[in-house]
């Protein structure tokens, strides 16, 4: 019990902020529409209905927790949830869809709350005891507040996913066996992310079959027994090809076989399976399923967010398996400390953004009380909310890049093409900085992860741009490639150099700048150069800062040149 309390404790503050924000929204829409009652009702996927989660208005608390059907002919709130249409009526006695929720209601208006994929996740509803109390202004007001509610719910969803990644990351750091790592991932999938079914398959080195190593529901008892061959069914296809599959109504897919399922195949509404890749080779897969809903209006398909999250988790699992198989226990302990720091840092930064969002909601409440018709102010607040959500997305992207830095997918590529294209994409079009690009044309093709190396180069360019030069006429950024050797009998290396004319790096900081969380910037988590270091070292290379303090910074990446088979 103590362990569970500790694991879920990190969620408490965000849950409270989200609840307070939604309550502020329902309070303010009540004032903005001069209503008698206002509610927010959210989809309850487990029960297949709507549940009233927030209420405002006198003597309206009895509605809290009430469950409403999702139906296009039974109740106005239910109709809006089923159809996604905003609804306004000036006399509920003339409306056959009306079902009483509050006494003395005469006028009613309701608008759907949609997530960023357009799916309906709830309804905001206001009611008045006056005839024809609501018109076009109130209709738009409900829609506006529904959008604010959607932003709050999106933030809550992102934080839940962030916490899931942190939990898997902590398991990655602390797990001493593959079983303990897989058990934590299954726990996260079922308990924190509320997936209805989740299973993990890992390649057996002897049989080359993909064996069930962890699962929820009825497959728990089959761990170690069930296995897929390459290409067998959708799961085997993912294991063979190393590519994800996301399907709605998977039974219609030609690869479907219906083998070894967590619940009967005809009950499956959505299927998502992602590969576990180690050094570009498939070592297994993570599969999640959703059951068909009893209510035809409930949409429970997987989204691109689900796919991105599961790929990130699969990347963590791959890293964990690799560590457990090849890294000494001491290195694992150091990794655990790094994960703890990462968790604390990211939670702190996201917490700051949540605090800013709460301030926006408070400002919204003030404006609605004192300037209810100020649409321009409302739009400015909405823009501020968008900015803070974008900042959280940037933090999460840094987090994902830190996790996946060492997971490579190698192919033979032209290093100069990567450097040239990355510099062109990253360098500002109307910059006052001059770009000097000097590329050694005799460089051979190299086995590189194109995507990861572009990330590393763009990080160095973005770091150097602000320090390109002290004066307007002396702003220069130099980027070059060349062949090099460390000694007469040593192998050849390809080097990438990025240099500026800024203040440079102090001697005592030349190694510290590559450590996680070390940063001289206000913005960011301080993971940029540590991500670059991880990417370069995963390629068997090195990176160092070789500039002179007071003259400029010079970052040199060295990559080994291998003979092409």
- Please state the CATH superfamily assignment of the domain spanning residues 175-326 in this structure: GAF domain (3.30.450.40)
pLDDT given for residue 489 in this prediction: 47
SS3 198: strand
Higher-pLDDT residue of 183 and 273 is: 273
Of 148-157, 204-213, 257-266, 328-337, least confident by mean pLDDT is 328-337
Q: Which range, 108-117, 286-295, 486-495, 525-534, has the best average confidence (pLDDT)? A: 108-117
Mean pLDDT of 337-357: 56
In contact, 108 and 92? CB cutoff 8 Å? yes
pLDDT given for residue 82 in this prediction: 92
Closest CA to 149 of 308, 364, 366: 364
Q: Does the pLDDT at position 398 exceed 90?
A: no
Q: CA 278 to CA 285: how far, in whole Å?
A: 11
b/e sequence 533-552, b meaning 16+ C-beta within 10 Å: bbbbebbebbbebebeeeeb
In contact, 280 and 318? CB cutoff 8 Å? no
Q: How confident is the model at residue 392 (pLDDT cuts 50, 70, 90)?
A: low
Q: CA 307 to CA 302: how far, in whole Å?
A: 7
Of 52-61, 189-198, 286-295, 382-391, least confident by mean pLDDT is 382-391
Tell me the percentage of the chain whose pLDDT exceeds 70.
77
b/e sequence 5-25, b meaning 16+ C-beta within 10 Å: eebeebeeebeebbeebbbbb
Mean pLDDT of 406-426: 87
> Which listed CATH number (3.30.70.100, 3.90.400.10, 2.40.30.10, 3.30.450.40) goes with 2-156?
3.30.450.40
pLDDT given for residue 276 in this prediction: 96
Q: Does the pLDDT at position 302 exceed 70?
A: yes
Mean pLDDT of 389-402: 63
Q: How confident is the model at residue 310 (pLDDT cuts 50, 70, 90)?
A: very high
pLDDT given for residue 508 in this prediction: 82
Mean pLDDT of 378-389: 68
Same fold, 175-326 and 411-560: no
Edge-to-edge strand list for the sheet holding 434-438: 434-438, 476-485, 492-499, 554-560, 542-545
Higher-pLDDT residue of 78 and 194 is: 78
Q: CA 76 to CA 89: how far, in whole Å?
A: 9
Of 13-27, 326-340, 448-462, least confident by mean pLDDT is 326-340
**How many angstroms separate the Cα of 89 from the Cα of each of 63, 82, 97, 252, 373?**
20, 17, 11, 42, 22
In degrees, rounded to 5, the angle at the alpha carbon of residue 418 between the alpha carbons of residues 416 and 424 is 100
Mean pLDDT of 439-463: 89
Higher-pLDDT residue of 79 and 390 is: 79
In contact, 306 and 271? CB cutoff 8 Å? no
In contact, 533 and 514? CB cutoff 8 Å? yes
SS3 190: helix
Give the side-chain half-sphere CA count within 13 A for 446.
24
**pLDDT tens readout for residues 241-291:** 999 999 999 999 999 999 999 888 888 989 999 999 998 899 999 999 988
Q: Does the pLDDT at position 523 exceed 70?
A: no
What count of other Cβ atoms lies within 10 Å of the Cβ of residue 242? 16
Length, in residues, of the chain: 565
Q: How confident is the model at residue 528 (pLDDT cuts 50, 70, 90)?
A: confident
Element (H, E) at 183: helix 178-187
pLDDT given for residue 11 in this prediction: 36
CATH for the stretch 411-560:
3.30.565.10
Distance of CA 314 to the CA centre of its chain: 13
- Beta pairing partners, 44: 49
Region of 315 on the Ramachandran plot (φ > 0 left; ψ -120 to 50 alpha; else beta): alpha
Strands 446-448, 411-413: pairing is antiparallel
Of 120-129, 132-141, 441-450, least confident by mean pLDDT is 441-450
pLDDT given for residue 51 in this prediction: 93
At 340, phi and psi to the nearest 5? -60, -40
pLDDT given for residue 330 in this prediction: 44
In degrees, rounded to 5, the angle at the alpha carbon of residue 188 between the alpha carbons of residues 187 and 194 is 100
Q: CA 211 to CA 244: how far, in whole Å?
A: 18
Mean pLDDT of 506-520: 75
Q: Which range, 331-335, 377-381, 409-413, has the best average confidence (pLDDT)? A: 409-413
At 248, phi and psi to the nearest 5? -100, 130
Q: CA 270 to CA 494: how far, in whole Å?
A: 47
pLDDT given for residue 168 in this prediction: 77
Question: Domain boundaries in the chain?
Answer: 2-156, 175-326, 411-560
Q: Does the pLDDT at position 490 exceed 60?
A: no
Q: CA 513 to CA 545: how far, in whole Å?
A: 9
Of 33-37, 274-278, 282-286, 397-401, least confident by mean pLDDT is 397-401
Q: Does the pLDDT at position 342 exceed 60?
A: no
Q: Does the pLDDT at position 120 exceed 50?
A: yes
Closest CA to 310 of 334, 329, 330, 284: 284
- Beta pairing partners, 37: 57, 127
Instruction: Please report, in angstroms and rounded to a whole number, the separation of the first and last CA atoms in the chain.
Output: 56
At 3, phi and psi to the nearest 5? -65, -45
Q: Does the pLDDT at position 328 exceed 60?
A: no
Q: CA 358 to CA 175: how far, in whole Å?
A: 37
Q: CA 235 to CA 198: how far, in whole Å?
A: 12
- Please give the model's pTM, rounded to 2 decimal places: 0.52
Q: Does the pLDDT at position 336 exceed 90?
A: no
Taking all residues of the chain, what is their mean pLDDT, rounded to a whole number? Answer: 82
Of 272-276, 277-281, 516-520, 534-538, least confident by mean pLDDT is 516-520
Q: How confident is the model at residue 388 (pLDDT cuts 50, 70, 90)?
A: low
Q: Does the pLDDT at position 2 exceed 50?
A: no
Element (H, E) at 401: helix 375-404
Q: What is the DSSP string of 289-349?
A: EEEPPSSTT------HHHHHHHHHHHHHHHHHHHHHHHS-HHHHHHHHHHHHHHHHHHHHH
In contact, 244 and 285? CB cutoff 8 Å? no
Mean pLDDT of 448-474: 80
Give the side-chain half-sphere CA count within 13 A for 368.
23
Mean pLDDT of 120-128: 95
Q: Which residues, at least 6 apart from 185, have a Cβ–Cβ distance to it below 8 Å? A: 168, 171, 200, 214, 286, 313, 316, 317
Q: Does the pLDDT at position 6 exceed 50?
A: no
Give the side-chain half-sphere CA count within 13 A for 101.
33
């Amino acid at each position: 019990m103590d362990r569970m309390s500790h694991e879920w404790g990190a969620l408490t503050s965000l849950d409270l902020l989200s609840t307070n924000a939604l309550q502020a929204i329902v309070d303010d829409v009540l004032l903005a529409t001069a209503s008698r009652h206002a509610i927010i009702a959210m989809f309850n996927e487990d029960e297949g209905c709507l549940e009233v989660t927030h209420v405002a208005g006198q003597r309206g608390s009895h509605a809290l927790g009430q469950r409403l059907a999702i139906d296009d002919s039974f109740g106005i709130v239910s109709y809006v949830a089923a159809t996604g249409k905003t609804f306004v009526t000036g006399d509920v006695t003339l409306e056959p869809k009306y079902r009483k929720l509050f006494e003395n209601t005469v006028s009613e208006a309701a608008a759907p709350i949609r997530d960023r994929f357009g799916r309906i996740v709830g309804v905001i509803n206001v009611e008045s005891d006056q005839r024809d109390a609501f018109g076009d202004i109130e209709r738009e007001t409900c829609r506006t507040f529904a959008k604010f509610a959607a932003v709050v719910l999106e933030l809550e969803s992102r934080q839940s996913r962030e916490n899931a990644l942190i939990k898997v990351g902590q398991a990655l750091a602390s797990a001493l066996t593959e079983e303990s790592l897989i058990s934590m991932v299954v726990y996260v999938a079922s308990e924190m992310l509320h997936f209805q079914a989740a299973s993990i398959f890992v390649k057996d080195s002897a049989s080359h079959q993909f064996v069930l190593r962890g699962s929820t529901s009825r497959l728990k008892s089959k761990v170690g027994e069930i296995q897929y061959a390459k290409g067998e069914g959708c799961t085997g296809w993912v294991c063979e090809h190393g590519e994800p599959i996301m399907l709605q109504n998977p039974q219609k897919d030609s690869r479907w076989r219906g083998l070894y399922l967590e619940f009967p195949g005809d009950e499956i509404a959505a299927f998502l399976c992602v590969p576990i890749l180690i050094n570009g080779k498939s070592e297994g897969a993570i599969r999640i399923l959703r059951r068909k809903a009893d209510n035809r209006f409930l949409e429970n398909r997987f989204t691109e967010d689900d796919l991105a999250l599961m790929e990130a988790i699969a990347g963590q699992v791959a890293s964990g398996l690799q560590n457990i198989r090849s890294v000494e226990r001491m290195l694992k302990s150091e990794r655990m400390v790094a994960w703890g720091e990462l968790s604390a840092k990211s939670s702190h930064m996201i917490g700051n953004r949540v605090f800013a969002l709460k301030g926006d909601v408070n400002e919204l409440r003030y404006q609605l009380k004192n300037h209810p018709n100020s649409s321009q102010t409302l739009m400015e607040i909405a823009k501020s909310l968008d900015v803070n959500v974008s900042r959280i997305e940037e933090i999460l992207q840094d987090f994902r890049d830190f996790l996946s830095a060492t997971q490579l997918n190698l192919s033979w590529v032209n290093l100069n093409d990567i450097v040239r294209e990355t510099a062109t994409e990253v360098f500002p079009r109307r910059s006052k900085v001059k770009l000097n690009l000097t590329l050694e044309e005799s460089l051979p093709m190299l086995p590189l992860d194109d995507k990861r190396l572009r990330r590393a180069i763009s990080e160095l360019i973005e770091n150097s741009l602000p320090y390109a030069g002290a004066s307007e006429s002396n702003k220069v950024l130099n980027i070059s490639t060349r062949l090099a050797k460390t000694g007469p009998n040593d192998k050849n290396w390809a080097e990438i150099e990025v240099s500026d004319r800024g203040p440079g790096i102090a001697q005592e900081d030349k190694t510290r700048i590559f450590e996680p969380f070390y940063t001289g910037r206000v913005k960011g988590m301080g993971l940029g150069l540590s991500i670059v270091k991880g990417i370069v070292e995963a390629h068997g290379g090195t990176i160092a800062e070789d500039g002179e303090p007071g003259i400029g910074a010079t970052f040199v990446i060295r990559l080994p040149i291998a003979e092409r088979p």
